[in-house]
């Protein structure tokens, strides 16, 4: 790492020779494989942008110039070159974020890891530079996958309208999102890729000719004219140029000299310009290059030599869903599936293998996915749209005004619901049970274990006149939690052991094991608790109010924002029923949560059995007049395993 460790900031790159730059790229790749194999992370995407990032930071002057990353998962090299080389705690509490972070560096801008937003940011920053008469440059890096998102085209439409507003857009075209990028855009990028000869010639030729005295410039102009003619002859006018954007490319995204030449030209252009770079996800690391599924898009801890996982992952929520979807697909020919460029991560790969004609990858286009689902349902099918909970946020209006308003039988399966932790604030699935509360007719289920995933998915796909939602957590599925009896549509998980029970504990989804632990801790304080799992949390079950009336206090516990979540809905249902029982709702505070493990985040926000048991003890004690405040309540020791 002789060179890499000497890079404390982008300007340290300026003095490196071409040979040293190639050595630096090799050192960066060695570093990435060594570091990310230990922590897990987005190894493939970052191996693909080594030369591109080096060239960007040599041509542009960050942080005066803004280097922006779409999604941000490919910003590890950017971090290495901007003074952050301790990756030992990547994505861990107190360590580097897996995405840009303004708290980490002045070189970082966009922290949102939701795709397709970078061009909007760039448009705004470029306008600000124009109004403030600043000569700073704005360069936005967007992947071919992120370019399939509608927001990117809304931004391009605006950017193309301002012919004299400088803005450099780098399309990082590695032909993949996780899997190969789909759609007409991907096909168009492919046609542009096939006419690379003249661009490389131009990129090299211009520099050589510019250094040639006297004849150089006129000769270049002649060649440039020839290139233009050649390009029109070889390749149809690209859509970017049809939009009015200057297009430079395609450029070999692993040739630093060619990249610098193209970026320098783009920087001087004085208007919006696209630099189309061809890169290879997983470049330089054979285990990633051999991985046809997703080129090591996001890996856990792996053996650096083989790329094989260090620990086998057990049964997870996604796998349970994946298996049940295949079973459902066999039973019902009307069931089709939708993914937004995440077929394997959301567990639809097995369904796709069994029913290739009944699965649709819409690209990173959740809004389109939801509207297309309304069309599919109206056309007589039952679509199951599997998507990470946090990514459905952007399709809220489509769920509301296309699916629900038209009473379409569409099932949304929300994976990674609740606190996910290590991917930072924008990846926690903490808003779905709040925003979806306001959708008329929508029914929302939160299964507590594998059996309930199967059961509630089956109940969901039976609903033909409204949207249904089944939401579950990330990772290993919890232990089976049997029901003792059913009350209305709700499962009683624990009886209070008293005919005048103190607490009705409403346990939402995967938090059932924790809620049973809370009840045990309360038991030790002489507080009797009924634990109930509503299963379908929207609408609130009609049996909730009469059940609550038989208790002294109601407690709700959910892995969702406290604001407008299940607790709020239950409180409203009790008020509407005239049931005057105090209710205390526990959930995620309305904050953006820093990256850490799920357990660390849950502890930080007090969503643990001891924390909740202590507060409920205080609440009940106040009802008994024994303690003035919950702070006076006795400490509650966590249950010993
Ligand atoms: C709105 C949204 N949907 C889905 C994702 C999940 N996701 C993260 S990276 C990625 C693929 C991005 O592909 P591309 O933009 O080509 O970048 P690459 O990984 O190829 O560098 C996806 C689908 C996301 N971050 N945001
Ligand atoms: C950047 C992005 O959105 C995805 O790659 C995400 O990081 C994957 O998350 P999981 O690891 O939970 O599948
Ligand atoms: Mg890509």
The ligand with the least distance to the CA atom of 150 is 1
Residue 369 has pLDDT above 60, yes or no: yes
115 marked as part of a ligand binding site: yes
- Please, which residues have CB within 8 angstroms of residue 558's CB and are 6 or more apart in sequence? 433, 446, 508, 509, 511, 537, 565, 566, 567, 585, 586, 587
Answer yes or no: 366 catalytic. yes
* Widest pairwise Cα distance in the chain: 100
Q: Which tokens go with 156?
A: 């391009």
* pLDDT averaged over every residue in the chain: 93
174 marked as part of a ligand binding site: yes
Catalytic residue among 231, 281, 443, 471: 281
Q: Which atom of ligand 1 is nearest to the CA of 172?
A: 21
Instruction: Count CA within 13 A, CB hemisphere, residue 47.
Output: 28
Residue 208 has pLDDT above 60, yes or no: no
The ligand with the least distance to the CA atom of 49 is 1
Catalytic residue among 199, 260, 366, 517: 366
Residue 231 has pLDDT above 90, yes or no: no
Cα separation, 114 vs 71, whole angstroms: 5
Closest residue CA from atom 23 of ligand 1: 341
Catalytic residue among 79, 283, 394, 598: 394
**Measured CA distances, 359 to 262, 372, 471 (Å):** 40, 12, 20
Q: How far does the centroid of ligand 1 lie from the alpha carbon of residue 116, in Å?
A: 8
Q: Which atom of ligand 1 is nearest to the CA of 116?
A: 1
Q: How many residues does the chain have?
A: 641
Q: How far does the centroid of ligand 2 lie from the alpha carbon of residue 451, in Å?
A: 26
- Each residue of 303-343: pLDDT tens digit? 999 999 998 878 899 999 999 999 999 999 999 999 999 99
Q: Which of 169-173, 222-226, 382-386, 484-488 has the lowest mean pLDDT?
A: 222-226
Backbone angles phi, psi at 270, to 5 degrees: 85, 10
> Are 602 and 428 contacting, i.e. CB atoms less than 8 angstroms apart?
no
pTM of this structure = 0.93
The pLDDT of residue 277: 97
Cα separation, 152 vs 146, whole angstroms: 7
> Which range scores top for mean pLDDT: 197-211, 308-322, 521-535?
521-535
The ligand 2 site (C-beta within 6 Å) comprises 71, 73, 113, 297-298, 345, 416, 420, 423, 474
The pLDDT of 344-372, averaged and rounded, is: 98
Backbone angles phi, psi at 136, to 5 degrees: -70, 150
Tokens 């006419």 correspond to what residue?
195
145 marked as part of a ligand binding site: yes
β-bridge pairing 490-494 and 529-533:
antiparallel
The pLDDT of residue 210: 58
> Are 387 and 411 contacting, i.e. CB atoms less than 8 angstroms apart?
no
The complex's ipTM? Answer: 0.99
Residue of 112, 195, 99, 124 whose CA lies nearest to 149 = 112
Backbone angles phi, psi at 590, to 5 degrees: -70, 70
The pLDDT of 501-526, averaged and rounded, is: 98
The pLDDT of 554-572, averaged and rounded, is: 98
Residue 629 has pLDDT above 70, yes or no: no
> Are 301 and 37 contacting, i.e. CB atoms less than 8 angstroms apart?
yes
The residue whose CB lies within 8 Å of the most ligand 1 atoms, and thus the one to mutate among 75, 175, 364, is: 364
**Measured CA distances, 378 to 305, 374, 382, 403, 407 (Å):** 51, 6, 9, 10, 9
Q: Which atom of ligand 1 is nearest to the CA of 74?
A: 21
Q: Which tokens go with 119?
A: 């061009």
> Are 310 and 303 contacting, i.e. CB atoms less than 8 angstroms apart?
yes
Q: How far does the centroid of ligand 3 lie from the alpha carbon of residue 74, in Å?
A: 10
In 194-234, alpha helices (H): 197-210, 216-234
Q: How far does the centroid of ligand 3 lie from the alpha carbon of residue 144, in Å?
A: 5
Q: How far does the centroid of ligand 3 lie from the alpha carbon of residue 303, in Å?
A: 24
- Each residue of 85-138: pLDDT tens digit? 999 999 999 999 999 999 999 999 999 999 999 999 999 999 999 999 999 999
Cα separation, 208 vs 152, whole angstroms: 36
114 marked as part of a ligand binding site: yes
Give me the percent of the chain exceeding a pLDDT of 90.
87
- Each residue of 403-453: pLDDT tens digit? 999 999 999 999 999 999 999 999 999 999 999 999 999 999 999 999 999
Answer yes or no: 281 catalytic. yes
Q: How far does the centroid of ligand 3 lie from the alpha carbon of residue 72, in Å?
A: 12
Q: Which of 178-192, 434-448, 566-580 has the lowest mean pLDDT?
A: 178-192
Instruction: Quickly state the pLDDT bin for 230 (edges 50, 70, 90).
Output: very low
The pLDDT of residue 396: 98
Q: Which tokens go with 180?
A: 């190969």
146 marked as part of a ligand binding site: yes
Residue 174 has pLDDT above 50, yes or no: yes
* Neighbour order of strands in the sheet with 583-588: 485-487, 490-494, 529-533, 503-507, 553-561, 583-588
Residue of 68, 64, 78, 240 whose CA lies nearest to 143 = 68
The ligand with the least distance to the CA atom of 175 is 3
User: Before 250, cis peptide (omega within 30)?
Assistant: yes
Residue 29 has pLDDT above 80, yes or no: yes
- Each residue of 189-201: pLDDT tens digit? 988 887 654 455 4
Instruction: Quickly state the pLDDT bin for 169 (edges 50, 70, 90).
Output: very high
The pLDDT of residue 502: 97
Residue 593 has pLDDT above 50, yes or no: yes
> Are 397 and 356 contacting, i.e. CB atoms less than 8 angstroms apart?
no
Cα separation, 450 vs 318, whole angstroms: 10
Cα separation, 574 vs 593, whole angstroms: 31
Q: Which atom of ligand 2 is nearest to the CA of 178?
A: 5
Q: Which atom of ligand 2 is nearest to the CA of 72?
A: 1
611 marked as part of a ligand binding site: no
The pLDDT of residue 253: 98
The ligand 1 site (C-beta within 6 Å) comprises 45, 71, 73-74, 113-115, 143-146, 172, 174, 176-178, 281, 297, 340-342, 364, 366, 391
Cα separation, 171 vs 147, whole angstroms: 8
């Amino acid at each position: 790492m002789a060179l890499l460790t000497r890079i404390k900031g982008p300007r340290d790159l300026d003095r490196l020779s071409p040979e040293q730059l190639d050595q630096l790229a090799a050192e960066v790749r060695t570093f990435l494989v060594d570091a990310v194999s230990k922590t897990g992370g987005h190894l493939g995407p970052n191996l693909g942008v080594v030369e591109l990032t080096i060239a960007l930071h040599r041509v542009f002057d960050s942080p005066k110039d803004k280097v922006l990353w779409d999604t941000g998962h490919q910003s590890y090299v950017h971090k290495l070159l901007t003074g952050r080389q301790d990756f030992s705690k990547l994505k861990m509490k107190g360590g580097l974020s897996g995405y840009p972070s303004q708290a980490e560096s002045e070189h970082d801008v966009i922290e949102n890891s939701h795709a397709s937003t970078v061009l909007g940011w760039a448009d705004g920053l470029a306008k600000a530079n124009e109004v403030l008469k600043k000569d700073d440059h704005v360069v936005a890096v967007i992947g071919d996958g992120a370019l399939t998102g509608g927001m990117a085209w809304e931004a391009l439409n605006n950017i193309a309208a301002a012919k004299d507003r400088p803005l450099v857009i780098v399309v990082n075209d590695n032909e993949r999102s996780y899997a190969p990028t789909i759609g007409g855009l991907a096909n168009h990028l492919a046609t542009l890729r096939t006419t690379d000869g003249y661009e490389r010639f131009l990129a090299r030729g211009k520099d050589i000719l510019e250094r040639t005295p006297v004849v150089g410039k006129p000769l270049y102009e002649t060649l440039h004219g020839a290139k233009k003619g050649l390009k029109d002859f070889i390749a149809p006018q690209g859509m970017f140029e049809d939009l009015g954007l200057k297009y430079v490319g395609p450029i070999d995204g692993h040739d630093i000299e060619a990249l610098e030449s193209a970026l320098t030209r783009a920087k001087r252009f004085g208007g919006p310009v696209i630099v189309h770079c061809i890169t290879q996800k997983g470049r330089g690391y054979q285990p990633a290059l051999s991985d046809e599924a997703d080129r090591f898009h996001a890996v856990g801890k792996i053996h650096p030599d083989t790329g094989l996982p260090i620990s086998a992952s057990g049964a997870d929520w996604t796998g349970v869903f994946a298996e049940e979807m295949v079973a459902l697909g066999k039973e019902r020919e009307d069931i089709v599936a939708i993914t937004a460029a995440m077929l394997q991560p959301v567990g639809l790969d097995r369904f796709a293998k069994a029913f290739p004609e009944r699965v649709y990858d819409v690209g990173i286009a959740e809004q389109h996915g939801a509207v297309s689902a309304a069309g599919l349902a109206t056309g007589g099918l039952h679509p199951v749209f599997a998507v990470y909970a946090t990514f459905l946020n952007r399709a809220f209006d489509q769920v509301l005004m296309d699916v629900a308003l038209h009473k379409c039988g569409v099932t949304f399966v929300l994976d990674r619901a609740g606190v996910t932790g290590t991917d930072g604030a924008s990846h926690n699935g903490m808003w779905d049970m709040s925003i979806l509360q306001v959708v008329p007719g929508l029914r929302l289920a939160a299964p507590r274990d594998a059996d309930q995933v199967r059961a509630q998915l089956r109940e969901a796909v039976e609903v033909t006149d409204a949207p249904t939602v089944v939401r579950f957590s990330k990772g290993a599925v919890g232990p089976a939690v049997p029901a003792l009896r059913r009350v209305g549509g709700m499962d009683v998980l624990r009886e209070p052991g008293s005919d005048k029970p103190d607490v009705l504990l409403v346990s939402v989804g995967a938090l059932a094991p924790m809620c049973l632990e809370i009840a045990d801790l309360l038991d030790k304080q002489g507080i009797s608790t009924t634990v109930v799992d509503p299963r379908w949390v929207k609408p609130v079950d009609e049996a909730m109010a009469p059940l609550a009336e038989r208790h002294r206090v109601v407690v709700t516990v959910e892995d969702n924002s406290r604001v407008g979540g299940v607790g709020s809905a239950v409180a409203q249902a009790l008020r509407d029923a005239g049931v005057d029982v105090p209710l205390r709702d526990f959930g995620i505070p309305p904050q953006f949560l820093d990256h850490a493990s799920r357990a660390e985040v849950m502890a930080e926000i007090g969503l643990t059995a001891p924390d909740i048991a202590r507060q409920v003890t205080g609440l009940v004690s106040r009802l008994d007049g024994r303690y003035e405040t919950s702070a006076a309540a006795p400490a509650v020791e966590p249950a010993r395993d």
